[in-house]
Amino acid sequence: MLRLEPRPEASRLMSYLSPLLAAVLTLMAGMAVFSMLGKDPVEGLRLFLLNPVKDLYGVSELLLKATPLMLCAIGLAVGFRANIWNIGAEGQFMLGTVGATGVALYFQESDSSLILPTMVFAGALAGAAWAAIPALLKTRFNANEILVSLMLVYVAQLFVSWLVFGPWKDPDGFNFPQTAMFGDHALLPVLVEGTRLHFGFLIALTALLAGYAFMNRSYTGFKMRVAGEAADAARYAGFSANRMIWIGLLTGGAAAGIAGMCEVAGPMGQLTDKVSLGYGFAAIIVAFVGRLNPVGILFASLLMALLYIGGEQVQQYMNLPSSISLVFQGLLLFFLLGSDVFIHYRLKFGRATA
């Protein structure tokens, strides 16, 4: 008889193998999905995984798509390590786009070199301010930060829609819900000529380095890790739970806000009601696939970006709906959660002892 048996201690090996196992199972399940849809599974995986990176432009698009995922995920990882569950990075991302767009539109006629740094600051501040709402409600009234941060996503979506349909709507935009295009001074410089990859990618890499230093080399990061792994020990040591909540949520909000700034100041060049493609939600998967580790988040972001672009490829060449990428994201999360069971349990043959 096959049964699950608790391990004496968590398996460090399985904690690293679990994401790889989940990725392999996702590919296998993906082949089954293509088969059920009447498509060639080998061709489907080729279009999904290899076609997007067949040339330099494709690789640059992969890095471009991974940029907001890296930024959102590293901010979330800081809080997740301390068991602070910020599920609202999507809303904080959108508020970041609003803060950055406000600066770009206000200084529409300016050519100052300070516009972009101001947009970065405004995006981070707006995202952090949005995350401060669940932080305040959690520390003052013990409100559940998962529910509050998630519900605020829909408020943020409606706020962005109100702006682009109302006061910020471009009068010369043929009645489309969008702002005026940003001036050149408010756009991030392109890194590789002939591509759309911009300076935001370097900002994301810097954020990963900063996240590594904070989580693994700082005293505050140590306290947050202790709070997540041994809450009783953290309380006994006198670590402030409220301070951990504020740091975890504000860091996640600021990082998501910067990601939003990079999106509107990069490939979009304006704010629209379709500003986000679900980066904030996808970043939750990225953070856990990456084991809340900056290096893991880097590779998990590339994988998730590949799922986004691969979905567009099979939509174009195999006439499948664009939501196929969401199916793969869901499969990845499902198999990751299933594989994580084996970090604390192992399979054993035989009859359970009384």
Rounded to two decimals, what is the model's pTM? 0.94
Closest listed residue to residue 249, CA positions, set 163, 324, 152: 152
Average pLDDT, the chain: 94
pLDDT tens per residue, range 192-234: 999 999 999 999 999 999 999 999 999 999 999 888 888 888 8
Neighbours of 336 (CB within 10 A): 20
305/13 Cα distance (integer angstroms): 26
In the numeric block, the tokens 């900063």 are attached to: 210
| Averaged pLDDT for residues 272-288 | 94
| Averaged pLDDT for residues 247-262 | 98
Q: Where are the domains of the chain?
A: 70-294
- Helix (DSSP H) and strand (DSSP E) numbers for the chain: 13, 2
The percent of residues above 90 in pLDDT, for the chain, comes to 83
Strand partners, 85: none
Cβ atoms of 104 and 178 within 8 Å: the answer is: no
pLDDT-derived band of residue 349, with 50, 70 and 90 as boundaries? confident
What is the residue-wise DSSP string for 288-346? HHTTT-HHHHHHHHHHHHHHHHHHHHHHHHH---TTHHHHHHHHHHHHHHHHHHHHHEE
pLDDT for 147: 97
Classify each residue of 281-292 as buried b or exposed e, where b means 16 or more C-beta atoms within 10 Å of its C-beta: bbbbbbbbbbbb
8-state DSSP, 265: I
The amino acid present at 227, given as its one-letter code, is A
| Averaged pLDDT for residues 315-319 | 90
